[in-house]
Structure 1
Amino acid sequence: MAIGDWSSRMRGAEPCRPGTEKNKGVAVSPSPARRPSFREVFAVPEFRTLWVSYVLSAVGDRLALVALTLLVYDRSRSPFLAAVTFASGLVPYLVGGMFLSGLADRLPRRSVMVGCDLLRLLLVGAMLIPAVPLAAMIGLLYAVTLLQPPFDAARSASVREALEGERYPLAMAIMGSTTRVVLVAGSAAGGLVVALFSARPALAADAATFAVSALLIRFGVPARKAAASGEDQPSPLGQLTEGIRLVFGDPALRTLVGLGWLAAFYEVPEGIAAPYAGRLGGGAVAVGLLIAASQLGAAISTPLFTKKIGPLTRLTWMGPMAILACAILAVTVLRPNLVASMGIFALSNSFAMYQLAANTAFVERIPNEKRGQAFGLATAGLIVGQGIAFALAGAAAEVVPPSTVVALSGGIGAVIAGGLAIRWRGMSPAVGRHTARHLGREASLTGQTPIHAARSN
C-alpha cells in the first residue's frame, strides 16, 4: 500500500470512529473547489523537505543493498548468504513494523525521523570498518532495516499533517511514482557503482544520505507534539494490540488493507523476473527490462489517475482496477515473447494505481494518534506477503514454466480481488447523479450536514 500515509477526520465532518455506521461512509471533498496541482503540492516547504529526504534515503538504501549483496557473494561465493542479505527487508521490517512503528505516535514525529537517520548513519558507518566479518555486516544491515518502519510511519503521518484535502492524494502519487523510479534506477546505479569502484563507496554514499536526510528534516520539518499525548499511553505491546484491533476489527479498514496486500500477487513477475527472462532466452538486460516495464506502468498511470479522476470515482473504480491488475497477468499462460510480456506487466501495474485510492481511504479512517502503528501494521503485512509470494513463486518456477506461475498468481489474486471488490461495493456510496441523494439520505439518518461531493467525479 507501497504501500502506504493517513488521517482521522473528513473535512467538514466529525471524526470517523471505527466500528460505527458513520464510519462506513467515505471521505469526499466538502466543496466543488478546483482541484490542486502538483505544483501546489511541491509549493509546501515541509513536503519538499520530506520528499527530498525520502529520495536521498531510498537511493542510498538501494545502493547499499545491491553493494552489500554483491560484496557478500564475492567474499563467500554462497548464493544462500547473498539471498539472506538481499532478504534483509523481510524479517526486520516485520518486527519493526509491528513493535517500533508506534514510536511515530508516542514520540514527536520529527524526532523519530531524525533519530532513525542518525542511528542508521552509525550502523552503515560501522560497515565501512575494514575486515568486518560477513556475519556482522549482515547483522548491521538487518539492524538498519529494523529502523526503517518507524521512520516510514513518522514520515507518512507527517505528510498527512502537512497536506489537507486533495493535495494529500497528489502527494502520495508523487511518493509512489518516486518509489518505483528509485527501485529501478537505484538498483541499476548500485550495480554500476560496484562494477566501476567497489562496494565501499556505495556504503559510504548510503551513510551520507542518512546524514543529509537528518539535517533536512531537523531544519525543514516543523516541531509538533507527539500525536498520542497524555499519561495513559499504552505500552508498546498494548499499542500493538490496539492497532491490530483498530485495523482488523473494522470491516472497511480490513477490506482496504486486503486491497493493499494484493500487490503480493500482481508483483510476482518482478520476483521471478530472472527465470522468466531465462525461459525467453534473455539475460540480465531482459531481466532489467521486465522489471522496468512493471514499474513504469504504475509510475506513469498513478499521477494521471490522481490528477484527472475525482475522489468518489477513484473509490468506485478501486475494486474493478484491483481485479484487472491481477487478471491481466493470466494472459502469460500463452507464453508471450519478451516485448509482449513487458506490455502485459506494464498494463497490469498501470491498474495498480487503485492503491492510491485505497491508501487515501485508509488514512481518512485512522485517528491521528494511531496513524503510525496502523501504517506499520499495513506495510509490514505487505512486505511479508510479498516475500512469501516471491518465495513460493520461485519454488513453483522450479517445477512449471515461470509464465504459468505468473498466470496462476494473477488468477488467484483476481479471485481474491473480486471478493474484496464486492465487499467494498457495499461500503462505498454510488457515484454520479445519485451521489447527492445517497449522501443526503445518510445525513438524514445520522443527523449530520451532508458532505458535498466534488463536482468532477
Structure 2
Amino acid sequence: MARAASGVTFLGVLKVREFRALWTAEVLSVLGDQLARVALAILVFDRTESAALTGLTYALTFVPTLLGGILLGGWGDRYPRRDVMVIADVIRAVLVGLMIVPGMPLWVLCVLVAVMTLFFGPFKAAQQALLPDVLEGEAYLTGMALRNLTSQSAQLVAFAGGGLLVAAVSPTAGLALDAATFVVSALLIRFGVRERPAAVTEAEEDRATGVRAFLYRTGAGARLVWRDPALRALVALNWLAGFYVVPEALAAPYANAIGAGTGAAVGWLMAADPIGSVIGAWIFGRRWIPEPVQVRGLGVLGILAGIPLILCLLWPGLVTGMLFFALSGLLATGYNIQGTVNFVRRLPNNQRAQGSGLNSAGLITVQGLGALVAGLLADAIGPAHAIAAAGAAGALVAVPIAVAWNRARGSSADTSEA
C-alpha cells in the first residue's frame, strides 16, 4: 500500500517495509558498484598509465545503460516491476562473477563490464517507476532525498575505502564484493517488495510484433518527453551530470599529476563529490529550503555546480581539490533530487518506466561520454585543465536549460507546486 505523509521524516519513510527493502538493496548495490569502479580505474591505469584508457574503462560502467534504458526500459511497464529488478540483479551478479576469473584479458573484462552495465537500464527504470507506488506525496520526495543521501554516502565509503582495499588486497576482491551485493539485492527485492501486476494492462498491450512494433514501443518514452517542454528541460538539467562527473573519472591521473599517488588518494578524490552530495541531500531533503524555492532555482543550481570545477585551473592540491569537487556535488544534488521528483511525477503510470528509463539511461550515458572525452582531453592538456574545462562547459550549457525550465514552469502548472 502506498503511503501519504505530512511532515514525514527520513525515519518515517524507513518504516515503510517495501521502501526499506528497496533502500537497503540500493545501498548495497551502490557500495559494490563504486568499489568495482575504483578497482577497475586502478587496474587499468596501473597496466597502461593512460588517462584515455582509464576514462574509456570508466565510461564502460556508464554508456551501455543508454541501450539498456531505452531498449529495455519498457519492461518495467509491460512486466511486473519487481520481477524485472530481480532478474536484472541476477544477470549482473553472474557477469561480475565472471570478471574475477584469474587471467581474464583486459578486453574481455571490458566486454563484461559493458554487458553488465546494459542491464542497469531496465533495473533503474523499473525501480524509478515502482517508487511512487510505494511512497506518495511528501513521503515520495522525502524518500528520494534519503535515497540520494545514503547512496552518496555509500559512494563515499566505497570510494574512500575502496582505494585502501584495492591497494591492500587486489582489484578482484572489489569485483567479488560487487557480485555479492547483486545477489543480496535480488533477495531483498524478491522477498521484501510485494508483487504487483504490470502497469500496462492486457487491454492496453500492443500485440503487434516485429522490429517496427518494437521500435515504436521503445520510442514511446522519447515522444512523451519531447512533447512536454517541462519534461524536456528537466531531462536536460539532469544530463548536466555528463560535465560534472569528470572529477571522478580523472581522479587517478589527477592524483598522479599532483604527486598524491594512485592508491588511497584516488579513492578520496572520487569520494569528494559524494561527500558534497550527502550534505546537499541533507540540506534540500530536510526542507531547509522550501520546495517551491527549490523548484524555481533548479536552473540556477545547474549553472552554479560548474563554478567550483573551473577553479581547478589553479591546480589545487589533494585537500583543496576535494573541497572544490564536494561543493560542485552539493550544488548538483540540489537540482538532481527535485528535478527527478518533478520528472517522475509528470509521467503517466503506464509509461513511467519507459520515461524513467530514458531519463536514467541518458543520465548514465552522458556521464560515461563525459568520462571518455575528459580522458582524451586530459592526455592533451592535463587533468586539472580538463576538469576546469568540463566545469565551464557545464555552466554555459546550463544557462539555456535554466531559461527553458523557467518558461515551461511558467506556462504550465508544476505538480510539485499544485
TM class by smaller structure: 0.7 to 0.9
| 1:294 corresponds to 2:273 | yes
Q: Which amino acid aligns with 1:343?
A: L
Which piece of structure 1 moves more, 416-425 or 123-132?
123-132
Q: For residue 381 of structure 1, what is the amino acid of its counterpart?
A: G
* Structure 2: gaps (5+ residues): 207-212
Alignment of 1:136-175 (within 5 A): 136-175=108-147
- 1:39 and 2:8 matched: no
Structure 2 SS opposite 1:233: coil
- Higher mean Cα deviation, 237-246 or 389-398? 389-398
Which one of 368, 373, 378 corresponds to residue 349 of structure 2?
368
- Give unpaired runs (5+ residues) of structure 1: 1-10, 12-28, 430-437, 443-449
User: Cα deviation per residue 1:291-347 (whole Å; 9 max; x = unaligned)?
Assistant: 322221121122221212222111011121111111333333344444433322222
C-alpha distance in 2, partners of 1:150/1:182?
22
CA contact (8 A) 1:97 1:376 kept: yes
Cα distance, 1:154 vs structure 2: 1.2
With 161-170 and 194-203 compared, the bigger mean Cα shift is at 194-203
CA deviation map 1:254-301 (0-9, x unaligned): 111111111222332222233434443332344443332222112112
CA distances 1:373-411 after superposition (whole Å, capped 9, x unpaired): 112211222222222222222323333354333333222
**Seq. identity, %:** 43
Q: Which residue of 1 aligns with 2:28?
A: 56
Partner residue in 1 for 2:210: none
Answer whether contact 1:261 1:382 (CA < 8 A) is retained. Answer: yes
Which range moved further: 107-116 or 266-275? 266-275
Which of 317, 326, 347 is the matching residue for 1:346?
A: 326
For residues 203 and 251 of structure 2, what CA distance do their matches in structure 1 show?
51
Give the match for residue 391 of structure 1: 372
Length, aligned pairs only: 407
Trace 1:222-301 onto structure 2 (pairs within 5 A). 222-234=194-206, 235-284=213-262, 285-301=264-280
Q: Secondary structure of 1:228's match?
A: coil
Give the match's secondary structure for 1:354. Answer: helix
- 1:4 is matched with none
Quick one: distance in 2 between partners of 1:78 and 1:337?
21
The normalised TM-score by structure 2 is: 0.85
For 2:61, the equivalent position in structure 1 comes to 89
What secondary structure sits across from 1:340 in the alignment?
A: helix
Residues 393, 47 of structure 1: alpha-carbon distance in 2 compared, 3 angstrom cutoff: same
Distance 1:279 1:66 in 2: 18
Residue 66 to residue 399, structure 1, CA distance change in 2 (3 Å) = closer
SS in 2 for 1:36: coil
State whether residues 66 and 86 of structure 1, in contact with CA within 8 Å, keep that contact through their aligned partners in structure 2.
Answer: no
Higher helix share: 2
RMSD of equivalent CA atoms: 3.2
Counterparts of 2:74 and 2:228 in 1: how far apart (Å)? 19
Larger Rg: 1
Secondary structure of 2:219's counterpart equals helix
Matches within 5 A, 1:57-456: 57-67=29-39, 85-127=57-99, 135-234=107-206, 235-284=213-262, 285-308=264-287, 309-352=289-332, 353-428=334-409
* Contact 1:68 1:199 (8 Å CA) reproduced: yes
Structure 1 residues 231, 415: CA separation in 2 closer, same or farther (over 3 Å shift)? same
Change (3 A) 1:52 1:394: same
Asked if structure 1 preserves the Cα contact closer than 8 Å seen for 2:237 and 2:398, the reply is yes
Secondary structure, aligned partner of 2:73: coil
Which whole-Å deviations, capped at 9, do the CAs of 1:335-365 have from their partners, x for residues lacking one? Answer: 4444433322222221112111111111111
Q: What is the CA-CA distance between 1:367 and the residue it aligns to?
A: 0.8
